[in-house]
Structure 1
Amino acid sequence: MKRAKKVALVAAAAAAALMFAGCSNGGGGTTGGDSKPYIALVSKGFQHQFWQAVKQGAQEKAEELGVEITFEGPASETEVDAQLQMLQAAIDKKPAAIGYAALDPQACIPLYDAAKAAGIPIVEFDAPCDSDYSQNLAATDSLVAGALAAEHMAKLIGGSGEVAIVGHSQINSTGVQRRDGFVDKIKADFPGITIVDIQYGDGDHLKSADIAKAMIAAHPNLKGIYGTNEGSAVGVVNAVTELGLQPGKLAIVGFDSGSAQINAIKSGLMAGAITQDPIGIGKAVVQAAYDAMNGKKLEKFTDTGSYWYDKSNVDDPKIAAVLYQ
Structure 2
Amino acid sequence: MRTRVAALAAVFIATFLAGACGSSSPAESGKVTIAVIPKGTSHVFWQSIHAGAEKAAQELGVEIIWRGPLREDDRASQVAEVEGFITRGVSGIVLAPLDEAALVGPVGDASRAKIPVVIIDSGLKGSDYVSFVATDNRKGGSLAGDALANMLPKGGKVVMLRYAEGSASTLDREEGFLEEIGRHTNIQVLSANQYGGADVEGAYKRGEAMLHGFRRPDGSLDVDGIFTPNESTTLAMLRVLADSGWAGKVRFIGFDASDTLVKGMSDGHIDALVLQNPVNMGYLGVKTMVEHLQGRPVEKRIDTGVQLVSRDRMNDPAVQELLHPDLSRWLKP
**Normalised TM-score (structure 1):** 0.88
Distance in 2, matches of 1:109 and 1:200, equals 23
Tell me by how many angstroms 1:88 deviates: 0.7
Give the secondary-structure state (helix, strand or coil) at the position aligned to 2:190.
Answer: strand
1:296-307 to 2 correspondences below 5 Å: 296-307=296-307
Residue 112 of structure 1 is matched in structure 2 by 107
Please point out which of 18, 33, 39 is paired with 2:34. 39
Aligned to 1:250: 250
Q: 2:45 aligns with which of 45, 50, 65?
A: 50
Unaligned 5+ segments in structure 2 are 1-18, 216-221, 326-333
* Aligned counterparts of 2:159 and 2:165: Cα–Cα separation in 1: 15
Query: Contact (CA 8 Å) 1:160, 1:192: kept in 2 or not?
Result: yes
State the match for 1:283 in structure 2: 283
Out of 12, 26, 31, the residue aligned to residue 23 of structure 2 is 26
279-288 vs 154-163, greater mean Cα deviation:
154-163
Matched, 1:185 2:180: yes
Which of 182, 187, 190 is the matching residue for 1:196? 190
Letter in structure 2 aligned against 1:49? V
* In 2: Cα distance, 1:226 partner to 1:24 partner: 43
Question: Is the Cα contact below 8 Å between 2:21 and 2:293 reproduced in 1?
Answer: no
Aligned partner letter, 1:40: A
Q: What is the SS of the residue equivalent to 2:224? A: strand
Give SS of 1:114's match: helix
Q: What is the aligned partner in structure 2 of residue 294 from structure 1?
A: 294
Q: State the 1:28 CA deviation.
A: 8.0
Distance 1:91 1:51 in 2: 22
- Where does the alignment leave 5 or more consecutive residues of structure 1 unmatched? 1-21
- Distance apart, 1:297 and its partner CA: 2.1
Alignment deviations for residues 91-132 of structure 1 (CA, whole Å, 9 cap, x no partner) = 111111110111112122221222112111111110122121
- Per the alignment, residue 225 of structure 1 pairs with 226
CA contact (8 A) 1:307 1:319 kept: no
Residue 323 of structure 2 aligns to a residue whose secondary structure is: coil
Partner residue of 1:158? 153
Sequence identity (%): 26
Query: Structure 1 residue 320 and structure 2 residue 317: aligned?
Result: no
The one-letter code of the counterpart of 1:307 is Q
Does structure 2 conserve the Cα–Cα contact (< 8 Å) formed by 1:55 and 1:279? yes
**TM superposition shift of 1:159:** 5.0
Q: Partner of 1:322: helix, strand, or coil?
A: helix
Rounded to whole Å, the distance in 1 between the matches of 2:42 and 2:148 is 27
Q: Deviations over 1:143-165 (max 9, x none)?
A: 00000011111122225111111
Q: How does 1:8-27 map to 2 (within 5 A)?
A: 25-26=22-23
Aligned 8 A contact 1:49 1:324 in 2: no
Structure 1 residue identity aligned to 2:187 = I
Aligned mate of 1:91, from 61, 64, 86: 86
Give the aligned CA root-mean-square deviation in angstroms. Answer: 1.7
Aligned pairs for 1:134-173 (under 5 A) are 134-158=129-153, 160-173=155-168
**Structure 1 counterpart of 2:293, which letter?**
M
Partner residue in 2 for 1:238: 239
**Residues 37 and 136 (structure 1 numbering): CA distance in 2 closer, same or farther, change over 3 Å?**
same
In the alignment, residue 64 of structure 1 is paired with which amino acid?
E
- Supply the AA of the counterpart residue of 1:120: I
CA distance in 2, matches of 1:24, 1:320: 39
Select 2:121's aligned residue among 101, 123, 126: 126
